[in-house]
Amino acid sequence: MSLGLEIEKDFVQTSERVKSVDLHPTKPWILTSLHSGSVCIWDYESQKLEKSFTVTGSPVRSAKFIVRKNWIVVGSDDAFIRVYDCETMEVIKEFEAHSDYIRGLAVHPSLPYVLSSSDDKLIKIWDWEKGWICTRVFEGHDHYVMQLAFNPKDLNTFASASLDGTIKIWNVDSPNPIFTLDAHAKGINCIDYFISGDELYLISGSDDYTAKVWDYKSKTCVQTLEGHAHNVTAVHVHPELPIIITCSEDETVRLWDKANYRLENTMNYGLQRVWTVGYRKNSKQFVFGCDKGTIMVKITSSKGSDAANLKQE
């Protein structure tokens, strides 16, 4: 049975290449970081640019809201982490965090921690209540570390994805990985956790053009999602909608049924390569960052309790 997905465009904005997106949980804000070195906040309700500023002359590959502090944290190719006040855009803190490009940032949901990953093959954890000191370095990957994700069932653990083809699972209190998955034959660009039923899973996206779903407990691959014609750059599994989202350099976003892994929809909005996906908690809103700009869509399903009748665009 089809999920009966309906997709409605909420916001489209052309720009230079978008490398990361984040959605504010309470304000109608889309945070984007650009390959040009700038950061923008768009108001998707008014369809206007709220704030914009230049961070550095090199690409900004990751920018995240730290909502409880009203901050933005940014990681860039000049190896610096910078922290800004959301309202004034004043620099709260800036420091050299790595010896190479910063690829990914992850904000801990409750503790004062930010994880960073880099082309120097290292992961570091920073404590903002201790003046942004590095409290631990995680070593073990043999290539660039592309993305990080905290475990929703155990916030003391997190996953890392690397171009060495492995996923590593770590505890924030130990420098050594808990375990390693030899996950893909080529580099891994993205990682996400999700819960289905009561079971915990991981999903990874790779330069081998596939995404793979992993049973966390048994450490086995339960499904390979095939169909993209180029590198898979971003993955996301919605906590409420029954869908898996994959993005690719083939310029498409694909939606898969989380229950049976069937391809439900392929979207191409003409903004060229798709690099990143973000979503707003407790909503059906998703944002995609592409070579030529940003698009927000609302995705609903007629299956089960998520009945809706929105016009497909």
**What does the pLDDT read at residue 75?**
98
Query: Cα(158)–Cα(152) distance, rounded to whole angstroms?
Result: 9
**What does the pLDDT read at residue 310?**
28
Q: Which two tokens stand for residue 36?
A: 């040009």
Q: Given phi > 0 = left and psi -120 to 50 = alpha, else beta, which region is 227?
A: left
For residue range 235-271, what is the model confidence (pLDDT) as tens digits? Answer: 999 888 899 999 999 999 999 999 999 999 999 999 9
**What does the pLDDT read at residue 4?**
83
Check: CB of residue 106 under 8 Å from CB of residue 114. yes
Check: CB of residue 135 under 8 Å from CB of residue 109. no
Angle, CA 141 vertex, CA 32 and CA 161 arms, to 5°? 40
Q: What is the arrangement of strands in the sheet containing 263-267, beginning at the earlier edge strand? A: 232-237, 243-248, 253-257, 263-267
**What does the pLDDT read at residue 1?**
62
Q: β-strand 113-118 against 102-107: which pairing, if any? A: antiparallel
Positions in the chain whose pLDDT score sits under 70: 1, 303-313
**What does the pLDDT read at residue 27?**
95
Q: How far is CA 124 from CA 154, 191, 246, 264, in A?
A: 19, 17, 27, 38
**What does the pLDDT read at residue 246?**
98
